[in-house]
Each structure stands twice: as structure tokens, then as C-alpha cells.
Structure 1
Amino acid sequence: MISKKILSLSAVALLAVTLGACSSDNSSDSSASSSSAPATSETAASSSADVLSTASVSSDPAVLEKALSADGNWIVAATSDITFDKDVTVAGEFHNKGDDTQDIYRKFALYSQDEDRNVTAEYTIKVPQLIVESEGFNIVHGTVDGNILVKANNFVLDGAKVTGNVTFEKQEYKDSAKLEENDAKVEGEVTVSE
């Protein structure tokens, strides 16, 4: 009985690691695609140490807030709608796949997908203001219900929607951003504060 549980857990962990490895993002501009690094219920259910060391997958606002901090991970995934009662800061420098030899890249996945990488659900995070200090930060699918203040280069919205405003601290940050990847949109104003 115990060996069957271990075997099952090992199979789920192997599947999650395999899916993560197969979802490589090879683009040179570090923009996210909806097929990169999955946020799946299979991954969320896995307790593999390898998976947990490279991704933070949760429906708990406190866990996600910590995962988005400088002490967090290169990929953070929500597994349900989330409400933050205060501003959340995305900080730290991270690299694609957590590999320092890869491009600077960070992903916030607001979706779930199946084993064929079809998006099966999109989630909404409600936050007064999301403050982006991490370079190469990508919000993939889902909705940010609130405002975003961008203080870093290469910010990307990939298939995501923002109901509030997106304000860039500098023109340089706005010039390096991509706000319309895969039909992403900002319902509020896009401005530069300087």
C-alpha cells in the first residue's frame, strides 16, 4: 500500500517535472508565451521537492505575496481568484527556469492548463496596486483587478487584462514594455509618472 502511494507520487512528480522541462521559453526577448511554464492543477497537487523549489503555486494570498518578493521564485502561479488587502511588491532579479545562465525573466501565471497546454481556467487577482520592481516580469493570462506601477524594464502582459491603470516610473520602462501580447489589454490609462 505504501509502495503504491510512493510510486503514484513519484509518477505525478515526474510528470510535473517533465511538463516544466517541455515548456521551455526559447525566445530571445524574454516575453512570455501562454505555452511556457505551466500553472496546472497537476503541478499544484504534486509535492515534489524539485517542482516546489522552482515554482510557487498557491491560492493563499500570503504565500503568493512572499513568492513575489525578492525571496521568492522565478515563477509564481495562482490556483484561484485572489484578493490582496494591500499593495503587493514584485521584487528581486530572477532568470528563466531559475537558471542564472538564462535571460532575466519572471512569470506570474494567472491560469491553469491541461497536459496539452490548453488554458482551462483564468484567475483574477484583486490588489490596490501591484508594484513591479523585477525586470522581465510577465503576467500571463487572467486579470489584475487594480493598478500596476512599473519600476523596471521589460514588463509584459501576455493574454492578461488589467482593469486599472498601468503607470511607468520612467519612459525607458514604458518603451521596453509589451502590453498587448496575445490580445492583452489595459482598461485604464497607460502613463509615465516622470
Structure 2
Amino acid sequence: MRIKLTIMTIILITAFLSGCANNDNNNATPTPTLPPDITDDITDGDTNKEVDAVTSASIVDTEEDFLYAISANGTWIICALKDFTFDEEIVLDGEFMNGKQDDDGKDIVQRKIALYTQDENRNVTNKFTLTAPLLKVNSPNASLQRGTFKGDILVTAWNFELVDMVVEGNIYFTTEDAINTFTMDETSSVTGVQELQKDQ
């Protein structure tokens, strides 16, 4: 009788331990992934480049991290997770490549500040506001996307773009090339003037 009881106890303990092992595997932490739009922007469908996507995008939720991300030492994509307010001029600086190449095999220059979040179906879930007395755009082929900027913008570089943006302020351009290559889509608006000011 004691032998049977001992055998049954061993079987029950073994089954219990096996169940725990399976549960541990099922509860393993999933590998983190980037939002679909950011991953697509960087990888262009090439899954071999997804590691580069992690190091090439800054997802920021502090003022300090935001300022570093837009600096010449930052990254080509800056993704905000909240509103940011600065009392002094801020500068989008440096020339960055987006990891893609054009039809001639040349690296593509691009910079992007994304003032929004979205779900896996690309539906925008939050839009954020960036506030500063002045945003100076020195990075070529840069864009502000899907949020609000409160303040004036001074553009020194070519191909500056607004995508689904509200600018509550003026946009000044320092060169003919800067103003002639500026674009904004139909969902963007600027409350102030858009003009050339070479003396800036």
C-alpha cells in the first residue's frame, strides 16, 4: 500500500513540474517590435534590416531625449509619445540617411519628426503638440507629421515638408531653394505667413 502511494506521489509531482515548465515557455516575453510605419520606413520590406530600424528611430517621452534626438548626433526618425514644450529655440540639425537607396543606388537623405502614435492597422491613436518660440530646420529633406507645432519655423534646408500638420505661427525661409522646395499636403495648415527672409 505504501509502495503504491509513493509511486502515485512521484507521478503527480512529475506531472506538476512538467506543467510548470510548459507554462514558463508560454509566458516568455515576446520580442519587441517597432510600430509598422516606422519599421516600413526603415526596412522598405527588407526584414534583414530590421535590426537597423531599432537603432535608427528615437521613441522619446522626455524633453532631454527629444532634444538629443533632433540634434546632429540624433536619429533620422524622431517619434514623440507626448506633448513637448520648450522656452528656447530648438534646432533640427544634421544630415541623415534613411537606410534606403534611390534608383541610381545613392543613399536617400531624410529626417522626420512624428508627432503621433498609431495602432497596428495604421490608425492614428494620438496626436501631440510641440511648442517652442522657434524651430530651426537645418536638416535637408525633413518633415513634421501629424501633430501641431506652436511657434515660428525657420527653414534653412531644402525639401521641408508638412504632413497632416497644424502650424500655429509663421514659416520663414532663408534661401530661394528652401522656399521653392517647401511642400505641405491638403490636411496641413499654417496660421501665419510663409515668406523669404534672407537676413535671418
| TM bracket (short chain) | 0.7 to 0.9
Q: Distance in 1 between matches of 2:36 and 2:166?
A: 29
TM-score w.r.t. the length of structure 1 is 0.77
Match of residue 83 from structure 1: 85
Match of residue 168 from structure 2: 163
Q: Percent identity?
A: 30
One-letter code of the match for 2:29?
S
Match of residue 194 from structure 2: 190
Q: Distance in 2 between matches of 1:166 and 1:51?
A: 31
> Is there any run of 5+ residues in structure 2 with no aligned partner, and where?
1-22, 45-49
Matched, 1:22 2:56: no
Figure out how many residues of one structure are paired with residues of the other and give that number.
Answer: 168
Match of residue 8 from structure 1: 29
Match of residue 94 from structure 2: 92
State the Cα RMSD in Å. 2.6
- Corresponding residue to 1:69 among 56, 68, 71: 71
Q: Distance in 1 between matches of 2:179 and 2:145?
A: 18
> Is there any run of 5+ residues in structure 1 with no aligned partner, and where?
27-47
Match of residue 54 from structure 1: 56
Given that residues 126 and 144 in structure 1 are in contact (C-alpha distance below 8 angstroms), is that contact kept between their aligned partners in structure 2? Answer: yes
C-alpha displacement of 1:22? 3.1
Larger Rg: 2
Q: Distance in 1 between matches of 2:153 and 2:93?
A: 14
Q: Distance in 1 between matches of 2:61 and 2:174?
A: 30
C-alpha displacement of 1:182? 4.3
Matched, 1:133 2:151: no
C-alpha displacement of 1:84? 1.1
Q: Distance in 2 between matches of 1:69 and 1:21?
A: 22
Offset from partner CA, 1:110-152 (integer Å, 9 cap, x none): 0000001111110001111000000001001100011100000
Give the secondary-structure state (helix, strand or coil) at the position aligned to 1:96: strand
Distance 1:49 1:122, change over 3 A: same
TM-score w.r.t. the length of structure 2 is 0.75
